[in-house]
Structure 1
């Protein structure tokens, strides 16, 4: 079984949102329990997704959006010019969805736990969840701005969606399920 994700304590909106995120993280990471390195890399559906790759992707997504909450226009995501990406840039992006030769499932799970701690700390230190930043321009977005609250909800949604993907992949691999 995987090490448990950081649980939050307290009451109020921040605690509720962080608790929801912690639960989604737990479902995602639990899906990888007692999994071999080979199975962490194995595609079990027609998609390119693997369990190790999903953990790695969700870690990167959480870090990017947490950076956006804290740094807004100065975040790495806001400074990325997606229109200038090269084939090599897209290849590096694709590597974010799979375990590379020098990576292990234990390593990406540990990195995921570290990202969880970073996000929790950043959100707990926020003075106001209404603090908003302009969204970076992306090929898939329509501009506007998001509050820290909306960005945190997006992190929860992304994590929950990928936890569902992970459950399907795991069940296809060996019949194990997160729930049920």
Structure 2
């Protein structure tokens, strides 16, 4: 690897171990075995480097969860597929705790981090469409209001599940709880 890649790998480790706010440029540079100046040369700033590391980590989590959801897609019963998919998401938090901790840490600082709002807002729509496809066990469909609505629903459940898992993994909801809640709420809303 070159200095650029070493810096990115070091920044990713720092995010996992220390979080965003406690990571210094010196931490990243020393972890990569390069000078502090290398951060500016390759990324412009520590914040830009950390944003890049976060976006990369989110992509890696997306690949992991995509594989887990693909396995659930082989289940014929849509209810069982739904339960298995949400259980797989919950289980993924164990190996990606640092990623989720950092994302929630950044919510309070969002507007003050250069480039992060734009990067995440740009990825939001694509993420929603991707989640809709993954959770339904099919290829991503064209951008339609229905697909975006499905994606918004899945994304909202995902963020809520992550937040509850971070608070206490032992009581974080899984697929069965989500399925029961969905049945109850949809019955209440649709039948009035």
TM-score normalised according to structure 2 size: 0.27
Q: Report which of the two structures shows the higher radius of gyration computed on alpha carbons.
A: 2
Q: Which has the higher contact order (CA 8 A, sep 6+)?
A: 1
